[in-house]
C-alpha cells in the first residue's frame, strides 16, 4: 500500500510519541501523556487532529500502541468514527506490550520484558503468544520500578526500627522525607505516590552498583522475578528446543547489578535463551503494527477497523 499516510502513536502516561510515516519519510512529534481519569479514545482523536493541523494533508491509517489498554477501550470502530474527518480510513489499536515487542524484536520469535514503573512480558512463538504480568502495582508488576521502590522503602523502615540491616537507601528516603516516622502518611496522601515509589528504583540501582548489600539483594530478587516471567511466557509458546531471543527493555534494566542477575537467571538450567539488544523502541513497533502480516501470531492481539 505504497504512499499511504500512516500515523503511529506510542501512548503512555508520561507522554505520547507520534510518528507520521509516508514511504520512509517521517516526522516525529510529542504530546502530553494519557490522562487515566478520562476517556481514552477522545484523547487519541485529539492527537490525530492536532497532528493533522501541524503537518497538513489527510491521514490514511492510525496505528496505536497504548499503555494498559483494556478491552473496554479497545474499540477501533469508535476511534475510526472520531477521526474520519481527518481522512482516516483504518484504525489499529494494541496493548503496548505488542508494540514494544514489534519495536524490539520485529517479526522474530522470542520474548520482550518491558520494565519501567510497571512491567509486562510478551512472548511470541510460531503459533501462539503469551502475556505474563502487567497487572498493575496493586496485584502484579513483579520486578518493576514500583516493586523495587516498595522493597526499598520496607528495607529502610526495617533499618529505622532496628529489624533489619542498615542501608545506603536510608539516605535516599531521608532526602524525600526528613522525618521517616511521618513518611508513610505523606506518601499515602500523595496522589503521585506510585511514581514517587517507583522513582526509588534509581536509588536502589545506584546503591547496588556501589555494593550496598540490601540494594543488591533487592536488585537480584527483582531480576529473578523478571526472568521468571520471561521463562514462563516462553514456556507457554515454545514448541521445540530452538534458541529463543529475549529482549530486556525499560529503565529498570539500567541497573548493572539487576541486568547481570537477570541474564544469569535467564540462562539457568542450561536453557538456550539469548539476551539480545532491541532493534527499536515502542514507536517503531506502532509503525510496524500497520504492516503486520495477517498470519503473524500477534495479529490476533490487534483490534482493527476500516481499511488497514
Q: What integer pLDDT is reported at residue 1 of this predicted model?
A: 43
Q: Exposed, middle or buried by CB within 10 Å (0-12, 13-18, 19+), for 196?
A: middle
The closest alpha carbon to 97, from 107, 84, 112, belongs to 112
Flag whether pLDDT at 285 surpasses 50: yes
Integer Rg of the chain from CA = 21
Q: What integer pLDDT is reported at residue 272 of this predicted model?
A: 85
The hierarchical CATH code for the domain 107-278 is: 3.30.420.40
Q: For residue range 124-180, what is the model confidence (pLDDT) as tens digits?
A: 998 899 999 989 899 999 999 999 999 999 999 999 999 999 999 999 999 999 999
**Residues 239-245: what's their mean pLDDT?**
85
Comparing 17-31, 87-101, 180-194, 217-231, which segment has the lowest mean pLDDT? Answer: 17-31
Distance CA 289, CA 202 (A): 32
Q: For residue range 151-162, what is the model confidence (pLDDT) as tens digits?
A: 999 999 999 999
Distance CA 210, CA 44 (A): 43
Q: What is the pTM of this model?
A: 0.87
Place of cell 520500578: 145
Distance CA 255, CA 110 (A): 23
Does the fold of domain 107-278 match that of domain 6-102+282-306? yes
| CATH superfamily of the 6-102+282-306 domain | ATPase, nucleotide binding domain (3.30.420.40)
Q: What integer pLDDT is reported at residue 271 of this predicted model?
A: 78
Q: What integer pLDDT is reported at residue 34 of this predicted model?
A: 86
Q: For residue range 61-86, what is the model confidence (pLDDT) as tens digits?
A: 999 999 888 888 999 999 999 999 99
Sketch the domain layout of the chain as residue ranges: 6-102+282-306, 107-278
The closest alpha carbon to 141, from 111, 124, 110, 117, belongs to 117
Amino acid at each position: 500500500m505504497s504512499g499511504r499516510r500512516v500515523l503511529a502513536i506510542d501512548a503512555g502516561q508520561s507522554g505520547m510519541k507520534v510518528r507520521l510515516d509516508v514511504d520512509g519519510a517521517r516526522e516525529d512529534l510529542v504530546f502530553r501523556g494519557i490522562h487515566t481519569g478520562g476517556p481514552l479514545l477522545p484523547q487519541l482523536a485529539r492527537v490525530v487532529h492536532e497532528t493533522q493541523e501541524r503537518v497538513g494533508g489527510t491521514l490514511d491509517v492510525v496505528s496505536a500502541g497504548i499503555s494498559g489498554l483494556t478491552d473496554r477501550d479497545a474499540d477501533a470502530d469508535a476511534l475510526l468514527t472520531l477521526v474520519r474527518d481527518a481522512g482516516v480510513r483504518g484504525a489499529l489499536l494494541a496493548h503496548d506490550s505488542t508494540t514494544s515487542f514489534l519495536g524490539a524484536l520485529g517479526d522474530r520469535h522470542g520474548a520482550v520484558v518491558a520494565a519501567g514503573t510497571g512491567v509486562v512480558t510478551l512472548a511470541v512463538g510460531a503459533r501462539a503468544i503469551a502475556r505474563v504480568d502487567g497487572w498493575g502495582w496493586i496485584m502484579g508488576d513483579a520486578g518493576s520500578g514500583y516493586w523495587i521502590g516498595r522493597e526499598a522503602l520496607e528495607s529502610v523502615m526495617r533499618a529505622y526500627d532496628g529489624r533489619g540491616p542498615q542501608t545506603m537507601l536510608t539516605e535516599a528516603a531521608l532526602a524525600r522525607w526528613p522525618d521517616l516516622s511521618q513518611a508513610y502518611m505523606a506518601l499515602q496522601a500523595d496522589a503521585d505516590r506510585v511514581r514517587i515509589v517507583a522513582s526509588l528504583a534509581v536509588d536502589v540501582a545506584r546503591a547496588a552498583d556501589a555494593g550496598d548489600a540490601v540494594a543488591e539483594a533487592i536488585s537480584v530478587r527483582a531480576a529473578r522475578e523478571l526472568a521468571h516471567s520471561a521463562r514462563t511466557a516462553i514456556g507457554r509458546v515454545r514448541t521445540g528446543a530452538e534458541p529463543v531471543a529475549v529482549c530486556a527493555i525499560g529503565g529498570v534494566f539500567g541497573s548493572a547489578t539487576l541486568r547481570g542477575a537477570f541474564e544469569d537467571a535467564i540462562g539457568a538450567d542450561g536453557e538456550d535463551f539469548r539476551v539480545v539488544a532491541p532493534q527499536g523502541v515502542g514507536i517503531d513497533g506502532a509503525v510496524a503494527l500497520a504492516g503486520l502480516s495477517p498470519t503473524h501470531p500477534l495479529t490476533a492481539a490487534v483490534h482493527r477497523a476500516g481499511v488497514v
